[in-house]
Structure 1
């Protein structure tokens, strides 16, 4: 049986070029970068090189890049660090209802510790209202944290405009760009971004490594205390091999970004059109076109639940998800789908298919071929579908 991987938003494979670059740092070049002998200088130089590769991909200075243990740590550091460092100025933070849980749960933690958080609404396609953002900012606001692109429905926010509003109001702007980096252009200078989080395993790098961009001059408290690593900002002996892998992955991901976007968008639209055409009562969640991540497809099917679809797709060799991999064990409907206005029963019937560098037209066509039969079979067992048919509404 063939295997078709369509869950690139959950994680990617490590590209051979990335693994090749990493390998010597597991066995030969293993010196602690904080030591002073030759093999340690080699590892320090490797970290410096990787920092430069990430900085080039974001269009920032090398000294504005700090390596972390992943995207969630970077989100936590950005939000908690700004909140702690600027508490005397204010205790108000603004975010959205469709953020990754690394942001939402961090904000909930801060609410229990004396901070006020405004959770902005989004429209039916997942976009915030810029006027609502402007009106939400007060003299107590210290941070706005809005994700660059949504991990479930692919919505790309107007980041440059959000950053401009924050810059004008003298409020720090953090964006979780875990899904955006390597998939769409990201320029922290042009887009008025103060802090940005990214993760290696979303860009064909290793898991357990990420980075936080902190614009030069921003006061932010440390999240992890200990040694003087990362210029005394993030303690802990560096994960050298993974840092090297992240740098190489970012370099590869940004080398031909335009070509990557073009090919992936074509596959995405082929998959969307094929599903909507062949499966009755199916609908796209999120926007169309260039305001959607190139590889993101999120569709809902009425009268059934997404978990049943996933099991059937898995039987056919298709790897997919019903939403964020970080909440895949939850029986609750996606908070993102609820935020865009879907009732519980419709949110439960959604399927996320995300494409990547290993995706092909044959993969897309295979899913379009097997999915209609799966939906029909599950619907025939659904009381909701049976009632719908009995009413003569089919």
Structure 2
């Protein structure tokens, strides 16, 4: 099986597995316990906090560990909004956010908040003028993803940040897909809060992190919580955090070289698909500002779910969109927001590459998709002729 669903989750790296095993054996104590075994676990925890902070170029006091990207988004947003609700009730996000963000804001609307959902253009980029016009005196926070998980489009984060800060609006950014793929400098980009996840960078599932600027106030969601300075209840997963930190460090060290390598694979696959597959291929997303590892496309006239199932039958693992909404069976919200018809939305598939994707995989990928589309086209011709 050729795995091409890295945007959904990455396999754990050998380094991450080794660190997890060693940490689980040697640092099994509760990091909040006051005996030496607990203190040793706490020392490792704080070492990881410092290392992760250095990767993001932020103060370690702003790093809070969580159970993953979705919880990072929800806890960060709720904690900050609760603390600043006295300043207004208007929030801004985009129509193409991850489900954990999009449906969180839908929930807040039922609680009396006013939410503006920014539209995107045909490439998935928000309109900066629309963002400016959306800001009100009651606007307290905006949450805009760094990069889209389905089409890979990278948002103009620097420009977004400048607009929001000029109007004293707090900026939260979901960087789960972007972290480890492209350079992120939170201080330089003036991002107030940011969410990342372990299993997108070859670390274990069930671990993530939030950065919140130490100068920004937030409210604990569960009164009396002591772990992570009250940000999240529950015993700290020290082995998982150590493994996450090792995986993130390794991924960031390889980032520049890996970005170039994956971009070349992506470009070659697009070229070969357009010249070998007997059906029209439409690549979705921004043609220049996109993640190197995500290729969102449509094969005109074929439902994406059919392509995915047939690809799986032939030993190719791809997806039809975000793994967090895949069981919904509704057209992709992102693709629909690009202005595509419902039929076109159902054509969408996502191919995402990673560390273990090689040049040797390219031709087998093309061969499988060529076979699938050729068979489908033949069936269409037969049904028409009969």
TM-score tier (shorter): over 0.9
Aligned counterpart for 1:14 among listed residues 12, 15, 20: 12
Question: Could you tell me whether the CA contact under 8 Å between 2:118 and 2:126 is conserved in 1?
Answer: yes
Question: Could you tell me whether the CA contact under 8 Å between 1:225 and 1:234 is conserved in 2?
Answer: no
Unaligned regions of 5+ residues in structure 1, if any? Answer: none
Give 1:377's aligned residue: 375
Give 1:67's aligned residue: 65
TM-score, structure 2 normalization? 0.96
Distance in 2, matches of 1:28 and 1:64, equals 27
Aligned counterpart for 2:163 among listed residues 165, 190, 215: 165
The reply on whether 1:237 has 2:235 as its aligned counterpart is yes
Aligned counterpart for 2:205 among listed residues 187, 204, 207: 207
Question: Could you tell me whether the CA contact under 8 Å between 2:65 and 2:241 is conserved in 1?
Answer: yes
State the 1:144 CA deviation: 0.7
Distance in 1, matches of 2:286 and 2:231, equals 39
Equivalent pairs, count: 385
Question: Could you tell me whether the CA contact under 8 Å between 2:179 and 2:196 is conserved in 1?
Answer: yes
Aligned counterpart for 2:75 among listed residues 72, 77, 89: 77
Question: Could you tell me whether the CA contact under 8 Å between 1:53 and 1:250 is conserved in 2?
Answer: no
Secondary structure of 2:115's counterpart equals strand
Q: Structure 1 residues 230-239 or 138-147, which shifts more?
A: 230-239
Distance in 2, matches of 1:65 and 1:382, equals 55
State the 1:222 CA deviation: 2.1
Alignment of 1:1-394 (within 5 A): 3-279=1-277, 280-289=279-288, 291-382=289-380
State the 1:168 CA deviation: 0.8
State the 1:82 CA deviation: 2.0
Question: Could you tell me whether the CA contact under 8 Å between 1:303 and 1:379 is conserved in 2?
Answer: no
State the 1:233 CA deviation: 2.4
Question: Could you tell me whether the CA contact under 8 Å between 1:304 and 1:382 is conserved in 2?
Answer: no
Secondary structure of 2:188's counterpart equals coil
Secondary structure of 2:85's counterpart equals coil
Question: Could you tell me whether the CA contact under 8 Å between 1:49 and 1:247 is conserved in 2?
Answer: no
State the 1:377 CA deviation: 1.6
1:285-329 deviations in Å (ceiling 9; x for gaps):
11223x110111111011121111111111111110010111121
1:263-290 deviations in Å (ceiling 9; x for gaps):
111111111111122223111011223x
State the 1:178 CA deviation: 0.2
Question: CA RMSD of the aligned region, Å?
Answer: 1.6
Question: Could you tell me whether the CA contact under 8 Å between 2:27 and 2:239 is conserved in 1?
Answer: no
Question: Could you tell me whether the CA contact under 8 Å between 2:173 and 2:195 is conserved in 1?
Answer: yes
Question: Could you tell me whether the CA contact under 8 Å between 1:22 and 1:244 is conserved in 2?
Answer: yes
State the 1:49 CA deviation: 1.3
1:217-252 deviations in Å (ceiling 9; x for gaps):
111122345431112322211011111111111111
1:161-202 deviations in Å (ceiling 9; x for gaps):
111111111000001000000000011011110000000000
Secondary structure of 1:238's counterpart equals coil
State the 1:127 CA deviation: 0.3
Q: 1:18 to 1:172 in 2, by over 3 A?
A: same
Distance in 1, matches of 2:116 and 2:225, equals 35
Q: Structure 1 residues 123-132 or 45-54, which shifts more?
A: 45-54
Question: Could you tell me whether the CA contact under 8 Å between 2:125 and 2:286 is conserved in 1?
Answer: no
Question: Could you tell me whether the CA contact under 8 Å between 2:27 and 2:238 is conserved in 1?
Answer: no
Secondary structure of 1:329's counterpart equals helix
Secondary structure of 1:300's counterpart equals strand
Q: 1:234 to 1:193 in 2, by over 3 A?
A: same
Secondary structure of 1:321's counterpart equals coil
State the 1:26 CA deviation: 2.3
Question: Could you tell me whether the CA contact under 8 Å between 1:226 and 1:236 is conserved in 2?
Answer: no
